[in-house]
Amino acid sequence: MNPLEKLIAARAEKLAEMKAFNDANPEMDNKTTADFNKLKAAFEKLTRDIEIENTTNTLRSQTDNLIPQGSIDEVAAQSDYIKAFVNMLQGRQTVEDSLLLAQNAVHTGTDTEGGFLVPEEWTKDIFETLKDDSNIRQFITVKQTKTTTNIPIDGDDLEFEWLDELEEYPELQPNFGKKQLGAHKAGGVVLISREELFDSPHKVQQLVTNKLRRGITNGDDKAFLIGTGTGQPKGIVTAATREVVTTGGGISYQNLVKMKYKVEPQYRSKARWRCSDAFLEAVENMLDGNGRPIFIQGSIANGTPSTLLGFPIDADNKLDNEIAVGKVPALFGDFKTYVGADRGSIYIQVLREKYATKGAIGVLADKRTDGDLATDVGMAKLKIGA
């Protein structure tokens, strides 16, 4: 019998005692009333105990569903490791810290290059907040992958036919294609001075993760936009096959209108511009055929974006920031047609000894990523021609 069943049985017995006592004493004096109240108080206490046990069981059940068996111990162990890790970064580790860190030590080459793995919680935080730092991740499609992944490419559009009653249904067979997304590794070592670590004793995690996020984000954003596809993701500029080539080394209103119609209607409704400052400067005072400005300045205070030909604009100087022959200063289309693939997690390792003579600690990080356009009809690029 479990604790809850024992409590319920005890309350049933107490209820029976109360009933028998009441039957035996139809008219109660002060003494019998006091005895009955004792039975009643015991019954009410059992009732409260049952409610508490019920609530405890409910919470335990919910917790078991949320936290796998043994993970409470894992959380505690991770917390101990985080404390030891921070103490190590600041040079304050105890003997117990050193023993705990030694269990998670890794070595690359010689011992002087060895280091310690960053707490798993920190790597998760970096991964989950990459989008917040990125200038482009919020606009593209990002997938988490474990192996090489195929992204389907839509074939011919399907169209149902009108049928008479009991008429045979036609077979509609579109042509599908696919592209493979693999994993290209990018990484580096971020140096953090000991002064920074000691000046921010309660913000060590924020200090480390912020620096790593910026390094990862800058690399990813550049690759997603202009990556060559060789040893790195194929960026949008490289992957886009639809382009408008200008003449005379400049940009005209007609060039922009052509860009608009290079993108198929189903993607055009979700399209936006992404362009460098040089492009914006060139088109900001441009007029349409009726003498109206095609660039409309937005308001950050009111949350309204600037628009070009009625479509929102995102400035990005990772695109060519000059109007010169051969340069690509602008893209237009539905950026969700670009698929970025993050493979696995982020590998991070602290190298404490290697950079000691610089008065710094090195934080090594690498991440595997790939990317490509899923279709070539949803994106166009502007190229400056002679």
User: For position 121, which CATH number holds?
Assistant: 3.90.1690
The CA distance from 347 to 363, in Å, is: 10
Q: Average pLDDT for residues 327-341, to the nearest whole number?
A: 97
Q: Are residues 330 and 224 in the same domain?
A: yes
Q: Note the pLDDT of residue 103.
A: 74
Q: Answer yes or no: is pLDDT of 278 > 50.
A: yes
Q: Are residues 130 and 245 in the same domain?
A: yes
Q: Are residues 280 and 226 in the same domain?
A: yes
Which of 19, 103, 108, 37 is closest to 353 using CA atoms? 108
Range 78-84 contact pairs with CB under 8 angstroms and sequence separation of 24 or more: 78/119, 78/120, 78/121, 81/119, 82/119, 82/121, 82/122, 82/205
In this structure, what DSSP letter does residue 165 have?
T
Which of 298, 285, 297 is closest to 253 using CA atoms? 285
Neighbouring C-beta atoms of residue 268, cutoff 10 Å: 18
128 in a structural domain: yes
Q: Answer yes or no: is pLDDT of 176 > 70.
A: no
81 in a structural domain: no
Q: How many angstroms separate the most distant Cα atoms in the chain? A: 113
Q: Are residues 312 and 180 in the same domain?
A: yes
The CA distance from 272 to 371, in Å, is: 19
Here the tokens at position 260 are 């608009």
Q: Are residues 54 and 139 in the same domain?
A: no
Q: Answer yes or no: is pLDDT of 104 > 70.
A: no
Q: Are residues 240 and 330 in the same domain?
A: yes
- What value does the mean pLDDT of the chain take? 85
86 in a structural domain: no
Q: Note the pLDDT of residue 167.
A: 84
Greatest mean pLDDT among 68-82, 119-133, 135-149, 190-204 lies in 135-149
Evaluate whether 86 touches 117 at the Cβ level (below 8 Å).
no
Tell me how many degrees the CA angle 235-260-330 measures, rounded to the nearest 5: 40
Full domain range(s) for residue 12: 3-66
pLDDT by residue (tens digit) across 25-65? 888 888 888 888 888 888 888 888 887 877 766 655 554 55
30-66 helix and 3-24 helix, angle to the nearest 10 degrees: 160
Which residues are within 8 A (CB) of 65 and not within 5 positions of it... i.e. 6 or more apart?
none
Q: Are residues 368 and 313 in the same domain?
A: yes
The CA distance from 69 to 61, in Å, is: 12
Q: Are residues 329 and 196 in the same domain?
A: yes
94 in a structural domain: no
Of 51, 66, 81, which residue constitutes the final position of a domain? 66
pLDDT by residue (tens digit) across 359-377? 898 988 899 999 999 999 9
90 in a structural domain: no
Q: Are residues 133 and 36 in the same domain?
A: no
257 in a structural domain: yes
Q: Are residues 9 and 144 in the same domain?
A: no
- Tell me the pTM: 0.71
Q: Per DSSP, which regions of the chain are E strands? A: 105-106, 115-117, 141-145, 149-153, 177-181, 184-193, 243-245, 272-275, 295-296, 307-308, 311-315, 330-333, 338-351, 360-373, 379-383
Residue in the structure block whose two tokens are 């009653």: 165
Q: Are residues 34 and 180 in the same domain?
A: no
Overall domain count for the chain: 2
The CA distance from 16 to 8, in Å, is: 12
**How many Cα atoms occupy the beta-carbon half-sphere of 116 within 13 Å?**
22
Q: Are residues 129 and 225 in the same domain?
A: yes
78 in a structural domain: no
Residue in the structure block whose two tokens are 């921070």: 86
249 in a structural domain: yes
